[in-house]
Structure 1
Amino acid sequence: MLPAALVLLMAASSPAPSGGAARPAECAKADGSSGTNAWERAKAPELTQYCEKLASATAQLVGTEPVSPEVLTLVDAAIRLRPQRAPGHALRGRALARLARYPEAVAAFEEAKKRDDRALDEPRALFAFAHALARAGRRTEGLAAFRALLPRASRLEAAERGAAYVEAGLLLLRDGPTQLDDAIAVLREARRQAHDGVHAAALLGLALALERVGEHDQARALLVEPGKLPKRLESALAEPRAREVLAVGEPGIEHLLLGVLLEEADPARAATAYRTGLERSRVDAPPRPASAGGGAEPARGPWDEHTRKRIDALSGRKAPR
């Protein structure tokens, strides 16, 4: 059996084909491309309307820019025409995910899967499902969906492909030390695939993962050039698309990445960023049993000890002149 990290990366060397989301099979009948004649198509006018609405909604979901709620109106109208067909529900899930309505998106995707086990085989739908699961707090299922997605990630558009690798890597990193090797492998690929703010998240996520596995020199080597202009990377992390990707990571991840970035250029600010990340990481931590004295023990995340060590290492250091 191949190591999990290699399975995740099998598609990395495959060229990405052009083209958008798969068209529902029944819509081939609506436009005559399946060989049906005009008379046959005229007998099912609702099919033409259904396919037109799905096509219009799909066109609005192209790219990564914010979408209008109008897309949901189109999808819902299509579903009313053919409620038992899976494509409308899968597209509804994609629309809801883009509108940041994640629990509803997951429910829509699950409705699609009830109607057709293969409803989410199309990579864009599967990516939206994985992202929505992670944002809805169902991280284990989200990670399973990403594992299914990455071997076919070459079929995503470039921006989506980079984001998929970064999100998968951050989820693995969030899971704790047992997933660290896979997190590093996926984040290395994310660094190759991602662009702009998402690339900044990939680079700093990889540096953080390397720090956590004890490869301090490798982590620093990654940041020699970017560390000379930290404000550029800091601005990139604040881009909306980068923030959306980082949202699947551990609580406080944006502060932890800032800490990694600033260790050399501004140690005091790096330590402050790490402290903020440490405090926010406790959202993820399981409750700890009460101490012998009866008081509740403070929650600890899987990476708290490492973060404290980085804070201690920065104590007293000054920024280079």
Structure 2
Amino acid sequence: MRVVRVHEFGSPEVLRLERADEPRAVADQVVVAVEAAGAVFGDIVVRSGRHPFPVPYVPGLEVGGRVVEVGPDADHRLLGQLVVAATADRSGGYAERALAGSGQVFAVPGALPVGQALAVFQAGAVALGLLEVMEVGGGDTVLVTAAAGRIGSLLVQLAAAAGARVVAAARGRAKLDLAARLGAAVVVDYGLPDWVDRVRAATGGRGADVVLDAIGGELGGQAARAAAGGTGRLGVYGFTSGTWTDLGSSELTRRGVTGSRPLTTVFQQPAEVQRARSERALAEAAAGRLLPVVDRSFPLEHAAQAHHRLEQRRSTGAVLLTP
């Protein structure tokens, strides 16, 4: 079968199309014939050498497709089902077939295309978990950075559905228009030098009750300044800029803004809690109440192009690979 393999860390060009033996399911594993694989920022972090990982390896944290083999301890009713799944050992998805533990396999609801299911089952669970940990509720004003991204676009919808007033920050008219269609009450282009002032103006001068930041770096620091003094909560869950937002800054302390990395708490919660969130996200998408945004699908041999698109922040929603 064809796979994309990384032999050394570096630029997207280290992603090489190669041949490999097909995986075999053992214990409670299943083999998925991959129809689509998610290309996510976590793949970029590992590929670029910013997270320890043994090489060579095949990237890919999530896949969608048919179960074509089940291990002796797996539920044999999964055989033949169309599913989305988190890959075994957090790798192996950029391939024509991939392994997954049966506990990380989710049936695709009949009304949902597999690409949309792939875009929502993990990202939606993360978004639901972030909103829960940050205690977002009706009456809150929530600033979401990277609001047209894979997780950000879902945060906008879910926060609005929870009764919050969403201020969506993104760069460029197309992304701002998307955030508005998804339910943001206010959209702000963070390419403008006065974008934080615009957020404050949109919140009556107070600032946002909750800031959810996926960018970090200088923009993340600016987003932190948009949090309401004394009561604001800053949740940092990503660093697409390459560096985390500084949660120990003297400015945050002086202004009385509480900073945290809620994703750690989300991922430390019991497996059954996380699974329930994925199932809820899939159900909401199948019912039409949650729209998983898919940006583009790239052939497996163009995985480097997919990574370039993600790194250059040109994508809106999820980026997929198709074998």
Common fold: TM-score over 0.5: no
* Larger relative helix fraction: 1
Greater RCO, 1 or 2 (C-alpha within 8 Å, sep 6+): 2
Q: Which has the larger radius of gyration?
A: 1
TM-score range, shorter-chain basis? under 0.3
TM-score by length of 2: 0.25
